[in-house]
């Protein structure tokens, strides 16, 4: 194996199809949820100074990019994803000076900063929205305003322009007495959708993005960016709207229809993204653009991330974190590993020749992977399963994303009562499904929220074993905004930092391997033993090229708590025997892996990467 500088991967090695190869092709991104990361002023909320104070920890971990969930000024209805001023910092997190300090200190350590960009919608307290309530104002059509249905009294049930439901519960339309019309909000009623059909809206967004890039940020993760283009008929009417030529979908069990088929990946999606690239990023170097992409298929991912099309660098697809439920996320099902492998194979195959993949199992909207698909019932299995799932993810082709605390093996919150939750989505879903529509029992719904609710990933970062896990001072005047997980006494950064067998140390190895081995960064990916119900196995192969020694890796991971046989194709690849120097990384260590492979079996949660 030949080491290489992560920013100068030779062009003879193909990554996403661009020339020169992008700097991020062997980078690792770390997501920070600021309100839960580090509190420095004792108010119970994390802040920008807290992030700055932990930069050495992140540099030691080895990550390259820090993605910050929103820190803009906001009423915090949806924890900052409802922005009232794009060019200011919410006092909850600090000031613009604090942001400038964070950028400067991160850059000193070779870390890039990517900000969350939320431009499908704003807060209803944004000046643009306030102005749009006046039909004579230049901002009047900056949002999706519609009159009541003909013959219905505005503001009364059934007078909404169509039957669409919000993803956060209730109707997707809210009546404004000031304007006498309804506005569309796919999420909270305090998150009205911007009208991207209006070029003035797009211009304002691009100007704001340029302002941040000029200030020193290194790119954007773009929240639900694939919802910005809506499907309308020739007259501009939405599906189901009075007189529309497009028929709406039938209502579901909660009494509303689903807007997603008409709002995701709309007819002008590519046009808008390409325009953004030209207006904001052309002529700039060293940036990263990542789009959260509900409704996008693997095939469309190839098109959008193909550098020849000038749209986005990579996308977050969601089929792999949406399939393990019975219709809705609140009815989770056990993991079907062959199905997961099939989905991931589809992602990988779609960008085999051009384009790029984002690799993630956790973020601020997902439960902790060790609780979801691993085993957090005891310390041994928690550590092993956290390592196994980390290895599987990081050995895929693409850019891995580490969500804060994932590198420690942090678990779900395990809350038991509704009053412990803070998440708008979970609380609204309980009200709508249990109390209003009565389509799920209280017991079932509480179990669903406990398994899949967003607050599972939002409990404070576990820095040490003190009263508030080091997130805030033990003698802080107020408690953290959400309860600290009681297991922080056993699971924390201080306890794992110098432990060579910890989840943290294992993640450091995974990240270093991606930086040092071009096969991990750029090698072709091929699934093997697809039908095996317990073992996830694939190969990574890279042909030799000028300046780079190629190679082939075999990845095998037992994603169960039982000892299993090595599946046939993987077994055939190690038939000649494996020695310790061939083990690139393993959850139990190299010597144990050699014995396991010789016996053609894997112990519980045993995962191994072999150099063939």
**Any catalytic annotation for residue 223?**
yes
SS3 329: strand
Contact criterion met (CB below 8 Å) for 69 and 32? yes
SS3 208: helix
User: Residue 580, Cα to own-chain centre: how many angstroms?
Assistant: 36
SS3 68: strand
List Cβ neighbours of 287 (8 Å cut-off, separation of 6 or more).
213, 218, 219, 281
Q: How far apart are CA 423 and CA 524, in angstroms?
A: 40
SS3 30: strand
From the list 39, 292, 375, 606, the catalytic residue is 292
- Give the CA radius of gyration of the chain: 24
Burial (0-12, 13-18, 19+ Cβ within 10 Å), 186: buried
* Angle ∠(249,253,257) on CA atoms, nearest 5: 25
Residue 417 tokens read as 């009562």
For residue 20, whether the previous peptide bond is cis, meaning omega lies within 30 degrees of 0, is yes
**Any catalytic annotation for residue 7?**
no
From the list 193, 223, 248, 376, the catalytic residue is 223
DSSP 136: T
Alpha helical stretches, state H, 437-567: 442-452, 493-496, 503-516, 518-522
Give the active site residues. 223, 292
């Amino acid at each position: 194996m030949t080491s290489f500088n992560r920013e100068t991967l030779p062009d003879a090695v193909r990554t996403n199809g661009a020339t020169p190869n992008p700097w991020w092709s062997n980078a690792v991104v770390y997501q920070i949820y600021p309100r839960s990361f580090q509190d420095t002023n004792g108010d119970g909320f994390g802040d920008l100074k807290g992030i700055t104070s932990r930069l050495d920890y992140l540099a030691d971990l080895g990550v390259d990019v820090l993605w910050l969930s929103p820190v803009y000024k906001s009423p915090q209805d949806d924890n900052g994803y409802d922005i009232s001023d794009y060019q200011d910092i919410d006092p909850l997190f600090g000031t613009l000076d604090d942001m400038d300090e964070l950028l400067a200190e991160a850059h000193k350590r070779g870390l890039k900063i990517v900000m969350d960009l939320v431009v499908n919608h704003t807060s209803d307290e944004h000046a643009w929205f306030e102005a749009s309530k006046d039909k004579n104002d230049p901002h009047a059509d900056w949002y999706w305003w519609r009159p009541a249905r003909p013959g219905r009294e505005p503001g009364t049930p059934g007078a909404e322009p169509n039957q669409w439901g919000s993803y956060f519960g209730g109707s997707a339309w809210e009546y404004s007495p000031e304007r006498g019309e309804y506005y569309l909000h796919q999420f909270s009623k305090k998150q009205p959708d911007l009208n991207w059909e209006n070029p003035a809206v797009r211009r304002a967004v691009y100007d704001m993005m340029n302002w941040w890039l000029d200030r020193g940020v290194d790119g954007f993760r773009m929240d639900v960016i694939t919802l910005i283009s809506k499907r309308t008929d020739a007259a501009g009417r939405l599906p189901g709207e009075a007189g529309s030529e497009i028929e709406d979908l039938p209502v579901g069990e909660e009494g509303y229809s689903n807007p997603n088929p008409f709002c995701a990946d709309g007819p002008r999606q590519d046009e808008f993204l390409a325009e953004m690239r030209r207006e904001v990023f052309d002529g700039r170097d060293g940036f990263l653009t990542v789009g959260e992409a509900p409704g996008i298929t693997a095939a469309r991912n190839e098109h959008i991330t193909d550098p020849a099309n000038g749209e986005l660098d990579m996308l977050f697809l969601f089929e792999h974190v949406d399939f393990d439920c019975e219709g809705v996320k609140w009815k989770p099902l056990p993991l079907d590993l062959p199905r997961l492998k099939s989905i991931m194979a589809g992602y990988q195959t779609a960008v085999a020749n051009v384009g790029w993949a984002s690799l993630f199992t956790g973020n601020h909207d997902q439960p902790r992977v060790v609780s979801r698909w691993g085993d957090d019932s005891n310390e041994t299995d928690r550590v092993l399963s956290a390592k196994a799932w980390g290895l599987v993810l990081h050995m895929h082709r693409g850019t891995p994303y580490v969500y804060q605390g994932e590198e420690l093996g942090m678990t779900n919150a395990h809350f038991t009562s509704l009053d412990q939750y803070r998440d708008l989505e979970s609380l609204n879903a309980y009200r709508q499904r249990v109390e209003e529509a009565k389509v799920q029992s209280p017991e079932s719904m509480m179990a669903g929220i406990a398994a899949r609710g967003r607050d599972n990933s939002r409990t404070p970062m576990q820095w040490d074993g003190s009263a508030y896990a080091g997130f805030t001072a033990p003698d802080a005047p107020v408690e953290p905004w959400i309860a600290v997980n009681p297991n922080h006494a056993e699971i924390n950064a201080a306890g794992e930092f110098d432990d060579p067998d910890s989840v943290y140390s294992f993640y450091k190895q995974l990240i270093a391997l991606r930086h040092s081995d071009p096969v991990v960064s750029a090698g072709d990916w091929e699934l093997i033993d697809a039908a095996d119900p317990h073992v996830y196995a694939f190969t990574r192969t890279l042909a030799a090229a000028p300046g780079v020694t190629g190679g082939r890796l075999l990845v095998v991971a037992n994603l169960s708590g039982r000892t299993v046989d090595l599946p046939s194709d993987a077994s055939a690849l190690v038939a000649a025997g494996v020695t310790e120097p061939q083990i690139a990384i393993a959850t139990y260590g190299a010597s144990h892996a050699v014995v396991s492979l010789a016996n053609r079996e894997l112990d519980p949660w045993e995962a191994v990467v072999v150099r063939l």
